Amino acid sequence: MSNDRLEQLFNFLKTSPDEPFILYAIASEYVKRNDLTKALYYFQELVDKRPDYVGTYYHFGKLYEALGRKEEAVEAYQKGMLAAKQMNDTHAFSELRTVYNSILGIEPDDEP
């Protein structure tokens, strides 16, 4: 993949610095390029700037999982579930709860 896409995303970021999807797209682009350090940086920046952007947490947690950083993945999922609950996003909450339970080894039958 060429740098054109990433360059374009950074140009978008300059003109719309408060648009959370741009940071999400930058982080995702770095994941695609296997530049996981930069992906983590941009996911973290997005969580810091827009903790209500619920779509971040699933992918942020999955990236931590891929890096073998289980505690940070669990924390990302927990924060995401809280954000999803606050935003009344039941779909995101359900997805986050599923990966959260999975990483902790909780079976669906074990849930309260």
pLDDT tens per residue across span 51-89: 999 999 999 999 999 999 999 999 999 999 999 999 999
User: Exposed, middle or buried: residue 103 (CB in 10 Å: 0-12, 13-18, 19+)?
Assistant: middle
Q: For residue 1, what pLDDT is reported?
A: 43
Write the CATH number of the domain with boundaries 3-110. Answer: 1.25.40.10
Q: For residue 107, what pLDDT is reported?
A: 82
Unique residue bearing structure tokens 């982080």: 27
Say what percent of the chain tops pLDDT 70: 95
pLDDT over 80 at 110, yes or no: no
